[in-house]
Structure 1
Amino acid sequence: MKIFQNNCVFISTLFFVFYLSSSLVFAQKKYASDPQFKVKIDFDRWHDVHELDDDMKRLEKTYPKFLKTIVIGKSYNGLPFMGTIINNPDTGPEMSKAAMYIEANVPGNEIQGGEVCLYTIWYLMENYGRIDKVTQLVDERVFYIFPTVNPDGRQYFLEGTGGGARSGQVPVDNDNDGLYDEDGPNDLNGNGVIEQIIKYVPGKGDYRKNVDDPRILERVKFGEKGDYILLGSEGIDDDGDGMVNEDGPGGYDPNRNYAADWQPNYIQNGAMDYPFQLPHSRAENEFWLAHPNIAGVQSYHNAGGMILRGPGAKWQGEYPGKDISVYDKLGKKGERILPFYRYMIIWKDLYTVHGGSIDWTNDGLGIISFSNELWSRRQYFTSSELQKQTGDPNSPISRQKSRYFFNDRLEFGDEFVDWHEFNHPQYGKVEMGGRWKKTMGRLPPRFMNEELCHRNMAFSLYQADQMPLMQAGEHSVKKLGGNVYRVWVDFINPKLAPTITAKAAENSVVQPDLLLLKGNVDVVSVSLVRDKKTQDYIKPVTKRIDQHDLKRIMIRNGHPGKTTRTFQYLVKGSGKITVIYDSVKGGKASTSFSL
């Protein structure tokens, strides 16, 4: 018995030693996988307003040093306009740096920009300290990011059928009957899609189903007869005026209520009664005015694969040539970052827009502004060979058939609602269907959305990187006699964008840059040196700056991009002096030395 007990103890001891050593081995095991993210967020599904806000708060909690969530106002339904400020306080206060303002979801149904914004916050934080360029951007720049400035529209789109969700929810009488929002879409069968209604009338209709694919409803040629008539969209006449779905929630255009070239409704449909009447446009403008350090704007919309700039209307006239040069360099680089996207002018290449947001930020606030129209249907089939096939009418992925093929083979039929019988309360026995779900067409397939987020973020970060960044360069001091000195000071803007755009200078909408001199000296004159290398022996006439206070020079046209300017001071005195270049949008640079 004792031997048995001893054996049991021995076996137990061996088992314990084996277990302990195994645990240590597993504990010490290292994986070659990428490191886990601190904050896990899915970008292959759509987030409603509440989840977007919660995710921003989670990121703020994880990265409190860099992130601050803010609310700049509330929607008609009381939802917050929530955004995130990204700033590294170790490299300076927020207002001392050029800022990039990124917004999305102005039209309520254009939702994927919200995910791009969230992805941008997440990516910058997860990769700070790991990717040098990301670290540099966070250290040098400030970001104001608002994933949805139309939370009512976004929530209505995601909770409902998607119809009429471009608008916000401020009530509008769209049919001029004295009632507001009284006849919106009715989802009669509760499947979440507002479908088409057709009625079978053999030989008496003007529509037929496609022979090869009966899901496709097509109008018959002139002189022919079909078997179906189209009765319109799913719904009923809620207000008894003979029309269906004509006055749903809202009914205005959220991107026609800004001040630049605003026009009344009879010229620009959906513009409302006056600029900044709507909660979102008013809140945004107040934020922009309070943050003059904003030097870049991106407003994400959908769809079509476009990198848009103003003007929105031809009669506004083209931008000044110097500004066009900056826009062109940024936009053409964007075409390489974003395959299937085209750099375009709104009025010329798309359509006329009065009262659009990026016209106001460019013309009224002096900010280089783009609006990316996210997602191009050409991205369904990306190779050059497949692109050719989409142009072949006999191909199974010809333009009319391509979405059906993609839906059948890559989304397994999830995005289309086929025809089915329904007993309509007004029309009797009909067929309903023939419609794509709200997430098909203007939105990317969910499994393709992360690439869309990353590429569009990359373009916006490139724009942010090319905002002005004033730096002090070389300086020299030459004694001319007695206590009179000639001082040369270089200030450099190595980025593409100027500190003040030509349009901003023309409209006088940006505070002038300031050239300041501090020290116990008298300033005799200040001028611009055209060429330091030849100045001493050719002695050209320098461009003298004629202002009242030569210790505080106002530079109304700012500092151009990719430019070094040399300022010449003639001063009388001695001791330490400091020369400062102070720009609202380009930051502050200074150099100090002794005479």
Structure 2
Amino acid sequence: MNKFFMLILAICMLSPLAGAQSPTPSKVDLAFNKWYTYDEMTQALRDLVAAYPELLEMESIGKSVAGRDIWLVTLNDPATGPPESKTAMYIEGNIHGNEIQATEAVLYSIWYLTRSFGNIESLTELIRERTFYFVPSSNPDGRMYWFNDAATPNVLRGGIRPTDNDHDGRYDEDGPDDLDGDGHITSMWVADPTGRWKRNEDDDRFFVRVGRDEEPGGWTRLGEEGIDNDGDGEINEDGIGGYDPNRNFPSDWQPEHIQYGATDYPLSLPECRATATFIMAHPNIAGVQSYHNSGGMVLYGPGASYQKYPVSDMRAMEEMATKGAKMIPFYDALVSWEDLYTTHGDETSFTYEQEGIMSFVNELWSQDKMFGDGELTSRDDTIEFRDLLQFEDVYVPYHEVEHPKYGTVLVGGTKKHSGRVAPLWAQEEECHRNFAFTMYHADEMPKVEWGMHQVRRGPADLWELTVQVENPKVIPTILGWARKHRIGNPDELICETGEGSRVVASSTANGFTPWSGMTIPEDQHRSHRLRNEVGIRSNGSQLFRFLIEGDGPVTLRYVSDKGGTIEQTIELEKTDPIPEGEDS
């Protein structure tokens, strides 16, 4: 028996043991060292739903321009209530078609959570407490263009709705042409005696510009592969797309002459309309995570300098984004307009500014992670990384192709997966760290809890019931922006009494002491319902007081769109302030 066979036998014997020792085995075998086409993604979602029917439901929330379903998966533990009864996290990816790894990050999140349920205590508790809504690809047409058509790393950002990018009355008539049929749109060069570029003598994969005082280099760059298909003297000026779905949302939407890619009007794109409609119909969503790539960033608003967010919200955003940058090495916590660029009509501005939801964008993958040495990655570092770790698999060697106008040209350069996406062997860690940040975000969504309560005899022989409602999380039940602009419903505390009893008056309170007082509105007409317009603040609490005539138990129910609903029954008998759960 030779050594090779012995090695294979040993591996085969050890493999089942290794699988059995996995702390959280999954019922669905998904790999994250690959990219999923739309059809493969759809099948993976169906497999997960079939394997975990008690946790997952799958539905289409709309159709893309090409008629593809925009799939949404709901993850919820029905044993603790229906999805709408819990604070929810909305997690989405791939709004830009070429930013493909966002889909894998969302798919990984579903896969990891389902396999963790009942196995990892912290995630099991999170699933029981929260609802998760997942949209792995909100731009399936753009995704499939990247897979099926010749493209660069930056194409197709938008979708496939016909657009007149060059304003000549025709649509999509002059896009790039894959002259060599290799599936990549690379650079195109022509020999030119007066050209200011020359082949790099040390590495002919690159061209270098000659100095002003040097002899001509003999080459001129013609741009990306293409032909002047419409005869207007330009190449590739009106290809498919030409709009940006992430500029089509209602918040601070601006027309095309101000914001490129905004299209005709807010939510004119069916994909954006489907997303917005779902979010607006689910006021229990308190957190939004949108995955993009690339850049290595945890981004938060505002998107424009003239949008002034409340200090309390900015403080919470900064705290959470900074934690994210710590969890994901070589990521930076950045304010969109200040540290990156101005955007109008983007999705997370919409979810925050119009829906009152704490929202983040994670730009997956940073080239600064290439060698992980803490230094910014230079051009030479990138070349070395691609040579040593990617084995040159990102390059198309320059080769001759016949062009109908320019004759023999050189075509070559980097492939469409060369820049924006992590190498496949690094993708799973990228997915996991970003998933972990999103779980941190989900855990810090507001969660109302009962604190202490006190019952004592008050004035006019009325019962005075004082109760504390707490929120031990970073995100308040009502964001400062939502309070200011009256977005969503206020929180509400309801006191239900038995027959023969009634609530005479109610208000917030400053303390449990008798002299802490109450501020009762003169026109109060529904004293058993207390509206809390400001919500429960970050890591904060609020005291409420009811004056009750009559005896018997009362039932308290606190209702918060973002913080959830809690209920308890209290006997009207004299007590000192005691924590919830310690009374009879």
Please point out which of 167, 171, 184 is paired with 1:180.
171
Instruction: Say which SS state the counterpart of residue 553 (structure 2) adopts.
Output: strand
Partner of 2:4: none
Q: In structure 2, what is the Cα distance between the partners aligned to 1:401 and 1:328?
A: 33
- 1:126-145 equivalence runs, <5 A: 126-145=115-134
Please point out which of 94, 97, 117 is paired with 2:106.
117
Once the two structures are TM-superposed, the CA of residue 266 in structure 1 deviates from its matched residue by 0.5
Q: Gaps spanning 5+ residues in structure 2: where?
A: 1-12, 573-584
Please point out which of 247, 255, 274 is paired with 2:265.
274
C-alpha distance 47-100 of structure 1, shift in aligned 2 (>3 A): same
Partner of 2:529: 552
Once the two structures are TM-superposed, the CA of residue 209 in structure 1 deviates from its matched residue by 2.1
Once the two structures are TM-superposed, the CA of residue 424 in structure 1 deviates from its matched residue by 1.8
- The answer to whether the aligner puts 1:367 opposite 2:353 as a matched pair is no
Please point out which of 50, 58, 65 is paired with 1:69.
58
Q: In structure 2, what is the Cα distance between the partners aligned to 1:436 and 1:307?
A: 27
Once the two structures are TM-superposed, the CA of residue 236 in structure 1 deviates from its matched residue by 0.8
Partner of 1:40: 29
- The answer to whether the aligner puts 1:425 opposite 2:413 as a matched pair is no
- The answer to whether the aligner puts 1:247 opposite 2:226 as a matched pair is no
1:387-415 Cα distance to aligned partner (Å, 9 max, x none): 37x5xxxxxxxx12222222221111111
TM-score, normalising length from structure 2?
Answer: 0.91
Q: CA RMSD in A?
A: 1.7
Q: In structure 1, what is the Cα distance between the partners aligned to 2:201 and 2:267?
A: 51
Once the two structures are TM-superposed, the CA of residue 529 in structure 1 deviates from its matched residue by 2.8
1:367-388 Cα distance to aligned partner (Å, 9 max, x none): 000001111110111024xx37
Whichever residue aligns with residue 380 of structure 1, its letter is M
Q: In structure 1, what is the Cα distance between the partners aligned to 2:117 and 2:402?
A: 59
Whichever residue aligns with residue 479 of structure 2, its letter is T
Please point out which of 403, 411, 426 is paired with 2:390.
411
Whichever residue aligns with residue 315 of structure 2, its letter is S
Q: In structure 1, what is the Cα distance between the partners aligned to 2:511 and 2:550?
A: 26
CA contact (8 A) 2:476 2:538 kept: yes
CA contact (8 A) 1:483 1:573 kept: no
Partner of 2:8: none
- 1:146-157 equivalence runs, <5 A: 146-157=135-146
Once the two structures are TM-superposed, the CA of residue 153 in structure 1 deviates from its matched residue by 0.1
Q: In structure 1, what is the Cα distance between the partners aligned to 2:424 and 2:17?
A: 33
- The answer to whether the aligner puts 1:579 opposite 2:556 as a matched pair is yes
C-alpha distance 381-545 of structure 1, shift in aligned 2 (>3 A): farther
Please point out which of 277, 295, 309 is paired with 1:304.
295
Please point out which of 479, 504, 507 is paired with 1:527.
507
CA contact (8 A) 2:187 2:223 kept: yes
Please point out which of 196, 201, 207 is paired with 2:192.
201
Q: In structure 1, what is the Cα distance between the partners aligned to 2:532 and 2:64?
A: 40
CA contact (8 A) 2:179 2:401 kept: no
Q: In structure 2, what is the Cα distance between the partners aligned to 1:322 and 1:233?
A: 47
Once the two structures are TM-superposed, the CA of residue 544 in structure 1 deviates from its matched residue by 4.2
CA contact (8 A) 1:483 1:574 kept: no
Partner of 1:438: 416
CA contact (8 A) 2:357 2:479 kept: yes
CA contact (8 A) 2:472 2:539 kept: yes
- The answer to whether the aligner puts 1:169 opposite 2:160 as a matched pair is yes
Instruction: Say which SS state the counterpart of residue 168 (structure 1) adopts.
Output: coil
CA contact (8 A) 1:528 1:545 kept: no
Q: In structure 1, what is the Cα distance between the partners aligned to 2:250 and 2:32?
A: 34
1:486-528 Cα distance to aligned partner (Å, 9 max, x none): 1111211111111110101111111111110101333232233
Instruction: Say which SS state the counterpart of residue 505 (structure 1) adopts.
Output: helix
CA contact (8 A) 2:507 2:530 kept: no
- 1:555-566 equivalence runs, <5 A: 555-566=532-543
Q: In structure 2, what is the Cα distance between the partners aligned to 1:314 and 1:233?
A: 35
- 1:177-576 equivalence runs, <5 A: 177-202=168-193, 204-224=194-214, 225-316=216-307, 318-384=308-374, 387=375, 390=377, 399-433=378-412, 435-480=413-458, 483-520=461-498, 521-532=501-512, 535-536=513-514, 539-544=515-520, 547-576=524-553
1:31-80 Cα distance to aligned partner (Å, 9 max, x none): 66326431101101110111111101100000000000110000010111
Matched length: 550
Q: In structure 1, what is the Cα distance between the partners aligned to 2:129 and 2:516?
A: 38
Q: Gaps spanning 5+ residues in structure 1: where?
A: 1-25, 391-398
Instruction: Say which SS state the counterpart of residue 252 (structure 1) adopts.
Output: coil
Q: In structure 1, what is the Cα distance between the partners aligned to 2:352 and 2:363?
A: 18
Please point out which of 62, 82, 87 is paired with 1:98.
87
1:100-123 Cα distance to aligned partner (Å, 9 max, x none): 001111111011010000000000
Whichever residue aligns with residue 356 of structure 1, its letter is D
Q: Percent identity?
A: 43
Whichever residue aligns with residue 493 of structure 1, its letter is N
1:551-594 Cα distance to aligned partner (Å, 9 max, x none): 11211221112112221222111111111110111111122122
Once the two structures are TM-superposed, the CA of residue 319 in structure 1 deviates from its matched residue by 0.8
Q: In structure 2, what is the Cα distance between the partners aligned to 1:338 and 1:81?
A: 29
CA contact (8 A) 1:181 1:248 kept: yes
Bigger Rg over Cα: 1
Instruction: Say which SS state the counterpart of residue 205 (structure 1) adopts.
Output: coil
Instruction: Say which SS state the counterpart of residue 550 (structure 2) adopts.
Output: strand
C-alpha distance 309-481 of structure 1, shift in aligned 2 (>3 A): closer
Instruction: Say which SS state the counterpart of residue 490 (structure 1) adopts.
Output: strand
Once the two structures are TM-superposed, the CA of residue 459 in structure 1 deviates from its matched residue by 0.5
Q: In structure 2, what is the Cα distance between the partners aligned to 1:69 and 1:304?
A: 31
C-alpha distance 351-481 of structure 1, shift in aligned 2 (>3 A): closer
C-alpha distance 209-556 of structure 1, shift in aligned 2 (>3 A): same
Partner of 2:10: none
Q: In structure 2, what is the Cα distance between the partners aligned to 1:400 and 1:522?
A: 74
1:140-175 Cα distance to aligned partner (Å, 9 max, x none): 000000010000000001111224300101111111
CA contact (8 A) 1:471 1:590 kept: no
Q: In structure 2, what is the Cα distance between the partners aligned to 1:477 and 1:522?
A: 15
Whichever residue aligns with residue 117 of structure 2, its letter is Y
Once the two structures are TM-superposed, the CA of residue 237 in structure 1 deviates from its matched residue by 1.3
Q: In structure 1, what is the Cα distance between the partners aligned to 2:421 and 2:210?
A: 30
Whichever residue aligns with residue 554 of structure 2, its letter is I
Of 343-352 and 416-425, more deviation after overlay is shown by: 416-425
Whichever residue aligns with residue 334 of structure 2, its letter is M
Once the two structures are TM-superposed, the CA of residue 541 in structure 1 deviates from its matched residue by 3.9
Whichever residue aligns with residue 531 of structure 1, its letter is G
Q: In structure 1, what is the Cα distance between the partners aligned to 2:62 and 2:371?
A: 41
Once the two structures are TM-superposed, the CA of residue 185 in structure 1 deviates from its matched residue by 1.2
